[in-house]
């Protein structure tokens, strides 16, 4: 993500005061806070973050060499000698990134009404719906999700669901500069765990639901749960909207120490879903609030989005928008890319591209696919990401048993053997009535599924959604080592090829 210039400089002593640490012996202006030594520019403060693969203290000399004028460190003994720049010593660099990043960005969150959204599934869609319900030409609402950042017609690419704290505050400043008065921020569990949302007070936090995920990072379901639950503390939000259709949501609603609006199908809900349906035209819910009822629609496709839609409506109303205005706004909000994205052509199957990458999300996506073409068959293109969440692969395979045909394929192996990943998925399909084929080349698998499916069938392509880079090399996604690959583009090409072949 490109980094704009922020300001002429903030005194390093002001950063020290914000962090409650002794001021530097030599004061000087710093322009920005950076944690990647490759992105340092002259005048920057370099944060020596200790990560899983690298220690920023060991990279301090490189950062100083390209212009860093000061360092933020929690293990100063690891710094090379003779760097000749001031060092702010803090108990934890990670814990300091939020407060320091906010200060250097001009504390943009103070000028925004911030809403945070978390949950195992549905965060991006719920965030998009809510931002759409709050956005008005004279009072823009920014949006920051896995797909990227947006305010009005302006967009910015991002690398993480929730960016590192300095990047996050820079994006909030960018939104303010473009007229935003509010911002909806998708909050991942890992971001909460490592402090990326520190120093970001919210007016409201939204919880969409919970399913075991990211255990390669968190270790246990309870630790994963605790990471999400910390978003609902009084020092992080003033109030909460919580979907309570499963035990984890009810637990959160009971434990949260802020006022909670309960959303779900139960009679005890503040916003109760009386009816919900989804089809090719979108999703609709009938909500009961007190003695009144509200029928709410959106073009977003997917049965799972009934509670996401209800939560977005409830959050916008909780923030003070008129219920009728919220209902009208949601009717015009389209799904983010790769979330229930429908592709069609005359005489061809309907293709659905969806980000579903957990067993629960896949099960819901398969129900939606079957409802879209009740008389047809469902052809599923399924993989699993390498070097991540190996424990859930059998669960994905088990959920895939609801399909009629399953095409097991590569989703980006990141150093693992793609055939071994697919073999673990296949364990969950043992004994299934579905036809199961392994086609490791993803382009071939999608093309073959589209080619074989009948005109009344559905081809469901899951796992990658909006993503445009597929990588088999080890490590995080790197454009230099990844293949340009978008599931929707490949599916469209397959549909076009089928149309040309038909004459």
Binding residues: 37, 161-162, 188, 196
Tokens matching residue 442: 């993803």
In sequence order, what are the beta bridge partners of 11?
Answer: 29
Query: Is-contact 21 5, C-beta < 8 A?
Result: no
Which region, left, alpha or beta, applies to residue 36 given φ > 0 means left and ψ of -120 to 50 means alpha?
A: beta
Give, for 465, the enclosing helix (H) or strand (E): none
User: How many CA atoms are closer than 13 Å to the CA of 109, on its beta-carbon side?
Assistant: 25
Q: How far is CA 8 from CA 19, 28, 29, 497, in A?
A: 21, 11, 8, 55
Q: Is 176 in a helix, a strand, or coil?
A: helix
Q: How far apart are CA 253 and CA 14, in angstroms?
A: 39
**Phi and psi angles of residue 226, each rounded to the nearest 5 degrees, phi first:** -60, -35
For 52-203, list the strands marked E by DSSP: 70-73, 87-89, 113-118, 140-145, 148-151, 154-156, 180-186
Query: Is-contact 26 193, C-beta < 8 A?
Result: no
The DSSP 8-state label assigned to residue 32 in this structure reads E
Nearest Cα to Cα of residue 72 among 63, 81, 387: 63
Which region, left, alpha or beta, applies to residue 486 given φ > 0 means left and ψ of -120 to 50 means alpha?
A: beta
Burial of 459 (0-12, 13-18, 19+ CB in 10 A): buried
Q: How far apart are CA 389 and CA 395, in angstroms?
A: 11
Query: Is-contact 387 418, C-beta < 8 A?
Result: no
Q: How far apart are CA 145 and CA 206, in angstroms?
A: 14
In sequence order, what are the beta bridge partners of 458?
Answer: 350, 378
Q: How far apart are CA 200 and CA 98, in angstroms?
A: 8
Query: Is-contact 389 497, C-beta < 8 A?
Result: no
Cα 173 to the chain's mean position, in Å? Answer: 20
- Say which residues have a Cβ less than 8 Å from residue 288's Cβ, sequence separation at least 6: 271, 272, 274
């Amino acid at each position: 993500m490109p980094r704009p210039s922020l300001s002429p400089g903030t005194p390093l002593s002001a950063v020290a005061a914000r962090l409650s640490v002794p001021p530097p012996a030599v004061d000087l202006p710093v322009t920005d806070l950076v944690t990647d030594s490759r992105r340092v520019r002259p005048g920057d403060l370099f944060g020596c973050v200790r990560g899983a693969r690298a220690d920023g203290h060991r990279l301090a000399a490189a950062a100083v060499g390209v212009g860093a004028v000061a360092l933020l460190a929690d293990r100063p003994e690891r710094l090379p000698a003779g760097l000749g720049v001031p060092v702010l010593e803090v108990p934890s660099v990670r814990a300091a990134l939020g407060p320091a990043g906010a200060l250097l960005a001009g504390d943009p969150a103070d000028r925004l009404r911030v809403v945070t959204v978390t949950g195992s599934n549905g965060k991006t869609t719920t965030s998009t719906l809510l931002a759409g319900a709050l956005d008005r030409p004279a009072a823009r609402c920014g949006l920051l999700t896995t797909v990227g950042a947006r305010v009005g017609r302006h967009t910015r690419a991002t690398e993480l669901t929730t960016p590192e704290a300095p990047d996050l505050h820079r994006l909030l400043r960018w939104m303010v500069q473009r007229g935003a008065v509010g911002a909806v921020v998708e909050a991942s569990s890992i971001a909460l765990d490592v402090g990326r949302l520190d120093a970001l007070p919210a007016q409201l936090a939204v919880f969409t639901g919970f399913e075991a995920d990211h255990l390669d990072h968190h270790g246990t379901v309870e630790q994963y749960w605790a990471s999400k639950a910390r978003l609902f503390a009084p020092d992080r939000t003033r109030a909460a909207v919580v979907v309570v259709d499963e035990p984890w949501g009810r637990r959160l609603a009971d434990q949260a120490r802020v006022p909670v609006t309960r959303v779900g199908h139960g009679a005890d809900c503040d916003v109760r879903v009386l009816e919900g349906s989804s089809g090719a035209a979108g999703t609709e819910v009938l909500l009961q609030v007190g003695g009144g009822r509200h029928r709410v629609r959106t073009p977003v496709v997917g049965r799972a989005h009934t509670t996401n839609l209800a939560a977005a409506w409830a959050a916008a109303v909780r923030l003070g928008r008129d219920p009728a205005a919220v209902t009208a706004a949601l009717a015009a909000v389209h799904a983010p890319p790769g979330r229930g994205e429908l592709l069609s052509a005359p005489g061809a199957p309907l293709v659905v591209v969806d980000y579903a990458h957990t067993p629960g999300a896949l099960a819901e996506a398969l129900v939606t696919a079957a409802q879209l073409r009740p008389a047809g068959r469902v052809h599923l293109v399924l993989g699993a990401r390498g070097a991540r969440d190996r424990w859930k692969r059998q669960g994905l395979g088990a959920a895939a048993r609801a399909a009629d045909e399953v095409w097991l394929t590569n989703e980006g192996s990141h150093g693992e053997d793609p055939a071994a990943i697919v073999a673990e998925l296949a364990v969950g399909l043992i004994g299934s009535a579905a036809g199961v084929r392994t086609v490791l080349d993803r382009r071939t698998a999608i093309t073959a599924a589209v080619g074989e499916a009948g005109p009344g069938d559905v081809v469901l392509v899951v796992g990658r959604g909006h993503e445009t880079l597929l990588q088999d090399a080890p490590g995080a996604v790197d454009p230099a080592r990844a293949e340009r690959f978008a599931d929707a583009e490949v599916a469209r090409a397959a549909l076009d090829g089928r149309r040309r072949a038909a004459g």
